[in-house]
Structure 1
Amino acid sequence: MRPEIRAAVPAVVLALAAAACSTQPPAERPARGPATSPGGAAAPEEPRTGDGAVATLRAVLTTPTDIDLSWRGGDPGASGHVLEFATDEAGPYTVLQYLPPGVTTYRHPDLMPRTAFFYRLRTFDGPASAPVDVALPPGELTTEDQESDHDWLAPRSDPGRSTTGRSVRDGGPAAPSGLKAEVKHANGILFTWTDHASDEEGFLLEARTRGGSAYAPVAVLDPDINSCGLITLPTEKRASYRVRAFTYGARSNVPRLTTGEPAADQR
């Protein structure tokens, strides 16, 4: 759920939105993985190494409690990367962000002092649906919106929109089809699509905001999902959306850094 609308939405809506695909894009909100916890999702503890070129991940302690990450190499044709961290090399790892192609840096700020941090980067890849353009009406949530039933937010799997049997890994025609966007109110969109993939590890809802040049993940969903709602940020009210079936690929090296003492004015 977005912090800027948290105070305006009743508790029942917040509970529903915690299970919905209202995750946050790079630099604006913490990412979530396929699990639907609101503050970052635990990644699989033993993900497959995958095929393809491996990126080289570098971590630098820029301040005693800020770590800057950068990477190079890897599969140039990948759909993007997922960045994860842990405080033990064996995990469990937590997703920091699902990142679009072309992004090669990330800052992990305000960390616990005197703590070891481990990082790894994985590619993700898979076919995306045809996009749909959405223009929400101006304004914020009304009282009627706040008091209405928001059960449409929760991710769902409708057997009537599933014709699975196509492999994402084999490069077949497994892209989701029939993506539709239903405007629910001035800050809410319901997305539905048909799932054709048999071996996806999840779905990504991606957005290209008005004036933007590239799509970026805004929500991460479990396998077999074909419906979810989104509570938009202001920049997402006029945007192009698409949904991608994806699998994980090659994983990078695992750098380790230990944070230092916080600055005196932060103690």
Structure 2
Amino acid sequence: MALALALVVTGCAAPRQDPGVRLEAALVSPTDIALRWRGRDPGAAGHVIEFATEPQGPYTILGFLPPEQNSYTHPDLMPRTTFHYRLRPYYGAASAPVDVTLGDGPYPKPGPGWAEPRVIPGGSPGTRPVGGEGAAPTGLTATVTQADGVAFRWADRARDEEGFLLEDRPAGRPDYRVIAVLAPDVNAFGLVTLPEERHASYRVRAFRYGPPSNVVRRTTGDDLPSPTTGED
């Protein structure tokens, strides 16, 4: 599943930095950059790797990564271009999971815009801070709307989320992965699945970002690796 980002571009680096994580970058081919890092916050749900092509951003999310992952390769990049990278933890508890099995129908007729991230009125606004007790979304439901479509709804319990993450674990996979990043207050979203997701478990998470790591930069080359390196 390609990551569906409703929040693609993030802001410039915050002045506060995460002192517990150290990010490193190496040019492993003229157009491939390998990233590695040391240290992590044990309370984080995972971390986000981001890049920019200007020193002050804006930054674009490459991926939401599980907490145990400590490397990432950014491949097939534009030549003779400087890329800036940073890592940020994110926090927040996930909802209880729901299992979905896609069948052969019949299916309920979905309403217009069923797959768009949206806020369904009538729910109580969240009152709990992300990371606090009872802030995880509740009441997650999944309705199969077509041969490859699933409509999700949930109750928002957090008051200060920076967004929601929809995660799935297809049958046979050991861990959940982030498949969609949604705006704050969203409580409904429709997913068009891939064949491997005909049977999968889903959950949703209200989240907040932590402070960024140090920023590293590398410049891609042509036939030979560029000598331009640096670190902020």
Which TM-score tier does this pair reach, normalised by the shorter chain?
0.7 to 0.9
Give the counterpart of 1:125 among 70, 87, 91: 91
Q: Name the structure 2 match of 1:114.
A: 80
What pairs with 1:58-69 in structure 2 (closer than 5 Å)?
58-69=24-35
Residue correspondences, number: 223
| 3-state secondary structure, aligned to 1:76 | coil
Give the counterpart of 2:122 among 138, 146, 160: 160
What pairs with 1:52-91 in structure 2 (closer than 5 Å)?
54-91=20-57
5+ residue gaps, structure 1: 1-23, 36-40
Alpha-carbon RMSD: 2.4
Q: Distance in 1 between matches of 2:202 and 2:219?
A: 39
Q: Name the structure 2 match of 1:15.
A: none
Give the counterpart of 2:177 among 200, 210, 216: 216
Q: Distance in 2 between matches of 1:137 and 1:129?
A: 25
Q: Distance in 2 between matches of 1:87 and 1:199?
A: 30
Q: Summarize deviations over 1:55-99 as a string: whole Å, max 9, x none.
A: 211111110001111112020231011110011121111111111
Q: 1:211: Cα distance to partner?
A: 1.5
Q: Distance in 2 between matches of 1:186 and 1:180?
A: 17
Q: 1:161: Cα distance to partner?
A: 2.7
Q: Name the structure 2 match of 1:104.
A: 70
User: Which structure has more strand as a fraction of its residues?
Assistant: 2
User: Which structure has more helix as a fraction of its residues?
Assistant: 1
Residue range with higher mean Cα deviation, 116-125 or 247-256: 247-256
What pairs with 1:165-176 in structure 2 (closer than 5 Å)?
165-169=127-131, 171-176=132-137
Tell me, yes or no, if structure 1 residue 44 matches structure 2 residue 11: yes
Q: Distance in 2 between matches of 1:202 and 1:179?
A: 16
Q: 1:262: Cα distance to partner?
A: 4.7
5+ residue gaps, structure 2: 225-232
**Is the Cα–Cα contact under 8 Å of residues 203 and 243 in structure 1 kept in the other structure?**
yes
Q: Name the structure 1 match of 2:229.
A: none
Q: 1:150: Cα distance to partner?
A: 5.5
Normalising to structure 2: TM-score of the pair? Answer: 0.88
Q: Distance in 2 between matches of 1:48 and 1:193?
A: 34
Q: 1:225 to 1:49 in 2, by over 3 A?
A: farther
Q: Distance in 1 between matches of 2:187 and 2:98?
A: 15
Q: Name the structure 2 match of 1:18.
A: none
Q: Distance in 2 between matches of 1:150 and 1:235?
A: 26
Q: 1:163: Cα distance to partner?
A: 3.0
Residue range with higher mean Cα deviation, 109-118 or 68-77: 68-77
Q: 1:176 to 1:64 in 2, by over 3 A?
A: same
Q: Percent identity between the aligned chains?
A: 52
Give the counterpart of 2:164 among 203, 227, 238: 203
| 3-state secondary structure, aligned to 1:235 | helix
**Is the Cα–Cα contact under 8 Å of residues 54 and 250 in structure 1 kept in the other structure?**
no
Q: 1:237: Cα distance to partner?
A: 1.7
Q: Summarize deviations over 1:189-232 as a string: whole Å, max 9, x none.
A: 00000001100000000111112211111100000000000111
Q: 1:150 to 1:136 in 2, by over 3 A?
A: farther
Q: 1:262 to 1:180 in 2, by over 3 A?
A: farther
